[in-house]
Amino acid sequence: MKRFLILLFSVLLLTSCSADKEKKEKVEFPLSMKVESFEGINQDGKQVDLSKLKGKVWVADFVFTNCDTVCSPMTANMAELQRKMADAGVDARLVSFSIDPEQDQPAILKQYASGVKADFANWDLITGYQQEFIESFANKSFMAPAAKLEGSNQYVHSTSFYLVNIEGIVVQKYEGAADVPYEQIIKDIKSLQ
């Protein structure tokens, strides 16, 4: 009987510790920026808007296909994140907003992302809005720069990946051009699901 009581007490203690540990692992994110409504078309010419992403966790970035610097590494890193998410069994959307919608037509975006072996099943590369809109949208919704450089075909933009929760709130950002914290992003996605 004494052994039974000790065993019972041990099980209760371990259960209590596990419950405490689960409570401690609840992630508190540093950001809280509401993504404003948008409408665009993806690489397949299909309409994508905020309502289609509500209820899903997603990771966003801002790129353009004529970029001379960071966009190619960012897009390759997003493709690597996609592969790592698949390996980990993590279900989330990836969204790349073009900040050069005039140049970046759907077929161009598709060809660009195909170069890094993108899987379009859960990745939308979005265009089809006005330049003024995407600049304002990036600034307001993500507190990210997005502007054309005077006298150039290049743009200033963020190199971050942004984590958006199921309510459409940006909760975290990560380096997207180099030293991407893939495991942390996957862990954070899981915590939101």
Annotated binding-site ranges for Cu cation: 67, 71, 157
Alpha-carbon Rg for the chain in angstroms: 20
As annotated, the binding site includes 67, 71, 157
Residue partners of 32: CB distance under 8 A and separation at least 6 = 169, 170, 171
Residue 20 CA from chain centroid, whole number: 30
Q: Exposed/middle/buried for 181, CB within 10 Å: 0-12, 13-18, 19+?
A: middle
Cβ-contact 59, 189 below 8 angstroms:
yes
Q: Which two tokens stand for residue 120?
A: 């379009």
Query: Residue 127's beta-bridge partner residues?
Result: 41
